[in-house]
Amino acid sequence: MEFIHNAFSTSLIISSLLVGGLSLYIAFKLSDSTRWMALTMFLMTIWGFFYGLELASSSLEQMIKLIYLEYIGISFTPAAWLIFSMIYTGYKKWSKPAVLVSVFLIPITTYLMVLTNNFHHLHYSSVGISNSGPFPLLDIEVGPWYYIHTIYSYIAFLLGTLILWSRFKNADPLYQTQSIFLIASGFFPLIFNLFYQVGIIKPFSGIDLTPYAFLLTYLILGFAIIRYRLFSLKPVAQNRIMESLTVGVLVFDSNEKLIDFNPAAKQFCFQENQIKIGVPAATLFNERKEIYKILQDAEETILLINAEKNGKEVNIRVKSIPMLDKTSGFYGVIILLDDQTEQIKVNNQLRQQANDLIQLNELKDKFFSIISHDLKGPIFGVKELIHMTQSNIISKEEFLTMLPEVSKNMEQVAILLENLLAWASSQLRGEHIQIQTFNIVTLLTQQQKLLDRIANEKKIEIILESEEIIEILADRNMIDLVLRNLINNAVKFSSAGGKIKLTAKKLSKEVKVCIKDSGVGISNQNLKKIREGISFTTRGLNNESGTGLGLVLVREYVKKNNGKLEVDSILGEGTTFCLYLPLSN
């Protein structure tokens, strides 16, 4: 074949080769939908390349052979564009046979019509050469099928463009450039073709500028795809992902302007009415300087802040992620906002449960020590005393002399056993709380009489000051145990000649019961342990044993009966425990 190249043919061939190279690169490097764009570009390359050779040809036979090759691109470019538009916008039914047949039926028929035109002349009614221009041009008279194919091409390109526009007309401004490129690549070349068909733009009465328009558009589009990753993420998919996220997402460019956000971000924004594309970060975070600071730092940072959401105090985790290109060039920041309130609450509960478990295990270890020492000691002492009496090692008179001390020890053992049984019951199966109405003064009187004997041995006076009847609503057995422990502790830590004052007083909706002693008092360290429910052991002034269990039970039982426990103490002056219990109606 002999070619006489000119400016029109040379420019068309070179641009075709460039677009062809770009299309192959895109096809092998990028995603499926973008490959269909690459196929459209490659088909356009075939049209442009062989049309360039046609413009350099001088014989009719050579031109007709090149037309057969050109029409591979001319026939199938509109179909490839339409398929690309459907895939790119998420149309899932594009691969159904009915869709493929309707899209490719006319292109296939057109190509067959061109190959067999000599037999029917339906596509070109006549073909010749015109020498009216600076170089030979193909002079054709079109047939009816040519118009059918032209109408199909316009419909395919316009339909694909319409699909893109309808899907992306409300897309985020982040994708405006992308959408404009896409729509222009489908619509702009059609304008040139329309001008060519009606004869407005038809240099030398025969040159078709449509391939030039397509190739120029696709050349720019191809460089944009490769250089700027123009179609690296489909807007439809991106929008769906962003909308489905419960984490608030704010995307800022290098100029600190908001370029994208998801619906969830509005729940976290501190100036919701100002969250819109283009708003400066300084304006959006005007009341949250700490967030603006981590955005300015352009480093990956995590920040926990308190804020108000739907009228409630919440904990929000703010994370900044700088966006860097392959050369570490900065081009923006992503801010993630996540409500961590429930997670923090769960973590605190787990931490509290872990601490409670540690304390419980420590308490259990202590109680086993109590059983092996404080409980076993007195019982074995009584056993040995009885054995020595029976063996006449000590006389009956000596035994009777020791009996008050033994009795006092047994009183402590009885209280210890009662506390141990109550604690074991609460840990193994939980208490069955039986709320009832009863007279708290009656319980105070009973405990006064019960512990008077131990108090008298230390020359301590227990005084009860109260009305005769004050009825409360609580579990009688639990409150009985609470009073016994508190009065017993007051006796243990009071010096000889001291006084213990028991009072009960009605308030508006509750009863205030106080046990006040004039003993040694409690240190600040141990006061803190009492208020936090931590057990500790202290021996009485006469070396009475203690377990640390009594006050733990007191605090727990008062709480379970909808009450409140207060304790005040001054070292060397005494301690006052006050219970606040529900007053019976």
Top pLDDT among 310 and 469 is at 469
Is the pLDDT assigned to residue 285 strictly greater than 80?
A: yes
Do 311 and 422 fall into the same domain?
no
Is residue 201 assigned to a domain?
yes
Is residue 137 assigned to a domain?
yes
Is residue 398 assigned to a domain?
yes
Top pLDDT among 546 and 527 is at 527
Do 453 and 501 fall into the same domain?
yes
| Range(s) of the domain holding residue 488 | 348-582
Number of C-beta neighbours around residue 396 at 10 A: 9
The DSSP symbol for 92 reads G
Do 380 and 524 fall into the same domain?
yes
Residue found under tokens 């118009």:
147
Looking at 321, 339, 357, the residue that finishes a domain is 339
Number of C-beta neighbours around residue 441 at 10 A: 20
Looking at 216, 235, 254, the residue that finishes a domain is 235
Do 47 and 185 fall into the same domain?
yes
Write down the mean pLDDT value for the chain: 79
User: How does strand 461-466 pair with strand 499-506?
Assistant: parallel
Do 305 and 208 fall into the same domain?
no
Is residue 240 assigned to a domain?
no
* Vertex 194 angle, CA 193 and 195, to 5°: 90
Q: Considering only 445-449, 471-475, 491-495, 545-549, which range has the smallest mean pLDDT? A: 545-549
Do 139 and 199 fall into the same domain?
yes
Specify the 3-state DSSP secondary structure of 501: strand
| Burial (0-12, 13-18, 19+ Cβ within 10 Å), 565 | buried
Do 29 and 57 fall into the same domain?
yes
Q: Give residue-wise pLDDT tens across range 233-275.
A: 455 556 566 666 778 888 887 778 887 788 778 777 656 667 7
Quote the pLDDT of residue 233.
47
Q: Give residue-wise pLDDT tens across range 134-164.
A: 777 778 888 999 899 989 988 998 888 888 7
The residue type at 375: L
What CATH number is given to the structural domain containing 311?
3.30.450.20
Is residue 146 assigned to a domain?
yes
Instruction: Give the Å distances, CA to CA, from 29 to 20, 25, 328, 418, 516.
Output: 14, 6, 22, 80, 85
Is residue 1 assigned to a domain?
no
Is residue 2 assigned to a domain?
no
Top pLDDT among 519 and 540 is at 519
pLDDT level of residue 451 (50, 70, 90 thresholds) = confident
The residue type at 469: I
Top pLDDT among 455 and 31 is at 455
Task: Give dist(CA 74, CA 68) in Å, integer.
Answer: 10
Q: Give residue-wise pLDDT tens across range 52-88.
A: 888 888 888 888 899 999 899 889 988 988 888 887 7
Is the pLDDT assigned to residue 15 strictly greater than 60?
A: yes
Is the pLDDT assigned to residue 542 strictly greater than 60?
A: no
pLDDT level of residue 17 (50, 70, 90 thresholds) = confident
What CATH number is given to the structural domain containing 449?
3.30.565.10
Do 34 and 11 fall into the same domain?
yes
Is residue 313 assigned to a domain?
yes
In the chain, the number of structural domains is 3
Do 282 and 421 fall into the same domain?
no
Is the pLDDT assigned to residue 437 strictly greater than 90?
A: yes
pLDDT level of residue 565 (50, 70, 90 thresholds) = very high
Q: What percent of the chain has pLDDT over 70?
A: 74
Tokens of 543: 């070396």
Do 476 and 503 fall into the same domain?
yes
Do 479 and 519 fall into the same domain?
yes
What CATH number is given to the structural domain containing 122?
1.20.1070
Ramachandran category for residue 459: left, alpha or beta (phi over 0 → left; psi -120 to 50 → alpha): left
Do 377 and 332 fall into the same domain?
no
Looking at 276, 311, 339, the residue that finishes a domain is 339
